[in-house]
Structure 1
């Protein structure tokens, strides 16, 4: 599959309306789930194990979307199959009082991966150029002294791009997935959560309230994607109405990123190999 067609070009001026929320793949859900996902997850698992063993590079994964678009399910059905010791998942919610006292990127740090890890951000620091913008939540204390409040978004885009470049230059690849979902599909998924007692726990009344700002969110997402998809930290737009197709795409992109890193199992050489052989001989002699 050509994953490049889902990647937002650098310095682009894309229109979200030009990206489909569905590629009519929902009818193939069972085939994708049963026949394609297992092999992709197996390959991803092997590459992740090498990344974890080598401990040279790390990957930061950003999952960004409106409610019910499929972020949690990608974590459950794809990433949860990986080695738990090399996986770190962080969910971003409304900033706590302590977090609000710091710069807006401060709360990111606990979610960053170590070398050998994949760190997943379920929502992320991008909330500070999405929700904060849609709901006009920016306080005066958050605006630099030499800037006007209307200029702050370009400032933050620059800061985010610079920080992601900093991570990349220090051995941490950043890959970002935007779950592009239609309003009709979200309606159906929210209704399912509301009507099914076993899924009520997934539903929040705020999910419906946020739908009132649908157009503002789409415009904000579009600006964010155009301003922050870079060569070192690209955005991928997923047709999220096709849930298993979207999960397949995430798997393929992650495999592509890991193959670029090309992690290898550490090789024992020199004196360590001699010591290893000595201990092998010792244990075998016990019989």
Structure 2
């Protein structure tokens, strides 16, 4: 029988309970099971006294998780899914995301569907959908001092009590551009329905090989979202005397000093999502975000003469 991994959000009692029940069930079928919490996939937030809270990309892989695993199961919400892929992407491990949270935009199934889903998984009756990830590095004095994998987006923004920031941004071999804004976002297609969407960026289907650059509250009508090839790396130079904050996947990050350089590029690792049915992105947009629903006029309560 196969070797299977389980990653769960140990903050949520239902995820913890289901994870242990699932382990017992799989072990009774003769499977080798490795368990881990999503905690090690949490990047951690830097503080002024500790500006670089960092673990190398390969150092997040949980013990026992490797390329000999058939698949993994994630129990939690979208934050748990993001953390889990940071943990296992170097192992090329496909994950089935089971929703025990709220929105569950990245999840494929629900807890009450697990008995049927488990049978389908063990029969190998599923597809694997690859989604691009980003490698984010902070360079200081030409040395990489911080790095992380990113599935949704990288955000660099001003500190709460400082003024608007200025950025010099270079994409591939193109001429550098200057942007004045509260911050900037570099997003994958997966992240186009997250912070990027709230900041005015377009929705991009997951199979399109592009990245997005989105200014946050820009100081110019000419500064708008830009879509470009994901084969082109991005370099961001802070052009402001005050420290800024970088956040990856809304999960953690570090302080950016005026002399730092941020490098973002498509990662050699991919997020491998297990799909139990043919992926249908527009269906997910409709169910989770209400996109494309028909407009129905509401009848007036006032009787017209």
Structure-1-length-normalised TM-score: 0.30
**Which structure dedicates a bigger proportion of its chain to helix?**
1
Structure-2-length-normalised TM-score: 0.28
**Which structure dedicates a bigger proportion of its chain to strand?**
2
Higher RCO (C-alpha 8 Å, min separation 6):
1
